[in-house]
Chains A and B, each alone.
Chain A
Amino acid sequence: MRRQIPLALVFIFGVFMIFQYFVPHESSEWIYEFLLDWIYIIGIFALALGIWSLIRVSITKIKARKANWGYPIITLMGLFLMILFGFTGYRNGSLGFHFMTAEGLSNPMFRNFFDYILIPIQSTMFALLAFFIASAAYRAFRARNVLASLLLVAALVVMLRFNPYLGPIGPYVADAASWLLNVPNLAAKRAIIIGIGLGMVATALKIILGIERGYMGKG
C-alpha cells in the first residue's frame, strides 16, 4: 500500500497529462490549470521543509563546535532577520503582518537587504565566471589528442573573431568563426537535442509505467 498508491498516482496523472495535450476542450484546460496551480502550492509547503532542514543543519554544526562552527550563526541571523522584514511592515502607522502596500513593499529593509546584500553578492558570484573561464581554458585547452585539439582550435578561432591585430588573415578568421557558430554548431546541437529528447521521453515513459522507481523510497 505504501508504494502501490503513489505509483498508481504517478500513472494516473502521467497518463492524464499525455491525453490532456491532445484535448483542446475547455474542461481539459481547466484541469490542467488547476494541477499546475496545485504544484506551486505544494512547493511552498516543501519550502517549509527546506527551511527546517537548513535550520537543523546549521544548529547541528553550531552544537558540534567543529571547525567554522560560528558561521552558521550568521546564516541563521540573516534568515530570521530577513523573515522578520519579509513578514512585517508598517501600514497606517502600525506594525503588522503586511507585505505590499500601495507604496510598494511595506518594509523598506526587505528591499534594502535585497538591493545591497543579495544583488552585489549575486552579481559578483556571477562575475567570478570571467576568471574561471580563463583558468579552465588555460588548464584544459592542451593539444593532447585529436579531440582536445579540435576543442582548442575551435575555441581559439572564435575567441579571435574580432581581434584587430591579426592583419590580413583577420577577415578569414572572422568568417571561419561565424561558419563554426552557424553550421557545425547547429548540427551538433541538433544531434544532442534529438538524443536528449529521446532520453527524456523514454525516462518519462518509464516513470509513468512504474519501471523507473528509484526516486520513490522503500517500505
Chain B
Amino acid sequence: MKRVGVFLCWCGSNIAGTVDVGRVAEKVRLLPGVVYVEENKYTCSEPGQASIMKAIKEHDLERVVVASCSPRLHEPTFRRTLEAAGMNPYHLEMANIREHCSWVHTDREEATAKAFDIVRMAVAKALRNEALQPGRISIEKKALVLGGGIAGIQAALDIADAGHQVILVEREPTIGGRMAQLDKTFPTLDCSSCILTPKMVDCAKHPNITLYTYSELEKVEGYIGNFNVTIRKKARGVDEALCTGCGLCQTKCPVKVDSEFDVGVGKRKAIYTPFPQAVPNKPVIDKENCRYHKTGKCRICERVCEAKAIRFDQEDTIIEEKVGAIVVATGFDLFDLETYGEYGYGLYPDVISSLQFERLINASGPTEGKIRRPSDQEVPRSVAFVLCVGSRDDQKGVSYCSRACCMYSVKHATQYREKVKDGRAFVFYMDIRTPGKAYEEFYRRSSVDYGVEYIRGRPSKIYQKGKKLVVRAEDTLLGRPVEVEVDMVVLAPAMVPKHDAAKMAQTLGVSYDGYGFLNEAHPKLRPVETNTAGIYLAGACQGPKDIPDTVAQAGAAAAKVAALFSQDELTTEPMVARVDEALCSGCLWCKPVCPYKAIEAKTITERVAGRTVTREVASVNVGLCQGCGACTVACRDGAMNLAGFTNDQVLAEVDDLLADLRPACGV
C-alpha cells in the first residue's frame, strides 16, 4: 500500500473556524495507507509548502493529500510543490474542505464529520494515483494562412517575419481581397491600395511565404503541430513561370464580361487579371466565357503571347503540405440587397451598393474616379446613403450590427461632397456608431465641414420618379415622414459570412455560430483561438470588422502562431484518455462520442495460442484529446480509461466513503 501524507490546512480561521481540524487529523491518522498527518495554518504559504517538501523526504511519502481550498485554486500550486520535492506532481490529491465545507456549513460537528469524509475520499483516490508524464508532440514550423485579404496578408507577413515558413492560399486569381476594391479608408482618407499593394508585393517577394492564388483548401487532417493539408490549385490556363504579365493577351482578347472586381459596374476580358496591381500579376483564363473553350476557335491570346505562356489544356494540380498551425482569414460576403424589394436594387440602375460606389469613386476604377451614375453616366447632384440594409433587422436581415457601414458611409458622403461641390448628400441611419479612434471626429466633420445631411430613419420605400429616385422614410427625430428626391441611392449591405463558411468550418473541424461566423474559443480571453488547437482566426470570418480591427486580430493570430512555433515540442496534458489494448475489443463506439476526433482505429499484431493475429483497437491521439472522458463511458469493458480520473479511482471514492458511513458486507 502506498505511503500517504495528509496535510490539513486551517486557512487561518476560514477552515479551522468551522471544522475541528484536530479531530479530523486524529481520524485521518487511522486510515489505511496514511503514514503522516500534519496541520498547517496556511498550507499554501512558503512555510506550509516547505513543510510538505520536508515531510515528503523525511517520511518518504509516495502520495500527498492536501485538504484545504478548492483544487481549482491551488492544485497547480501544490503540484509544483511536489515537483520541487522530486515527486511526480500528479501524486497530489486535494480535499476541498473550505469552499465545499467550512464556508457553507455552520454546525461544527457536521462540518467536521463532512471534512473527514472529504479527506477520506481524497486519500482513497490518492492511493490509486499514478505517476503521469506530460506527452510531447513535434511541431512542423510552417503555417497555413487561408485567405489573401488584408487579414491573411498581415498574418502571413507577421509569421514570415518571425522567421517561419508560411503558405498563403487565396481562392481568387490575386491576393488583396476586399480592401483592394476600396478607394480610401476612414477616418484618415488615405488611399486603400497605396497602403495595401506594398504589403501584397511584400507577400509575393517574402522568402518565407509561398503563395498559392486561384487555389482552394480541399482537406485537413491531423492536429496541432501536425496538420496535413491538401490544396487544389485551379488551372489558370497560363504558365505562371513563363508569363511576363505584359498584359497583351488581355488587350487583344475579344470577349468582354462584367468584372467581379468592379462588382458589375465595370468590364473585364475572358483572360484577365482582376486589377492592374494584381499579385501575382499573371492573368487567368475564365473558361466559362473564353471563346476558344466555348467554340474551339479563337486562340488569339495564344498567338499574341510572346512568352508562349498560354496553356488551354492546363489541369488543376493537387498540392499536399504539412503545417503546424492554420490561420483562417477567409473574410466575408455582402448581404443580398435584392432581399429588400422596396429599395429597388437590381430594378433601378441608380440604386447601387456601397462596394459599387467604392469602385465608382476609385481612381483606378471604371470611371477613373469620376462619380457618374450608372443609368446615364450623369454626375449625380444628390445622393442618398442608406445604412443598415440587412443589418440589425430580425425580420429580413441579420440581428447583428455590421460595425463598418456607418463609418464607410460617412466616408462615402464626405468623398462625394469633396468631388461634387454643389451636390447634396443624405445619410439615412438608425444610429451612427463611431466606436474607434478619431471616428466620432470624422463623423462630426462630415456634417460640419462637408454639410452631409443626416436623417434618422430607415427608408420604407425607394421609387423612381422621372430621372429621380424618391426615398421615403420617417424622420424619427422629428417624428414625421420625409421624402427626399435624389439622383442616386447607395445601400450599405450587412456583412455576412462567406457563402461556404459552414463547409469550410467542417473541413477544418472548427465550430461556427448560427450565422456561419467561425467561433472563437472564448469571446473575451481567447478571441483569436478556436476550440480546435492549432487553428486561429483573423478578420471578418469570425465576425464583422473594419480594417484596423482586422489587422489587429491578424497580428494577434500571428503572434499565437509564432509563440507556438517558438517551441520545438508541444507538451500535452497528461490527464487524457488511454487504451488498454489487451482489453480493447475494437468496437470503436468510443469514436463517435469524442468531441475532438481524437480516437482512431489502429491495427496491432499479437501472438495468440502460437499464431500471429492482427486486430484493430482504438488509439487516442494525445495531441487532440482534452480529457473529457466521454469515451470511457462508451467503453463497456473498461479498456478506455481516463488518467487522473480512472474507473478504479472513482469507484474507490464511492466505496471508501460509504464503507464508513453505510458499512456494507456487515463490516
The answer to whether A binds B is no
Interface residues of A (CB under 8 A from B): none
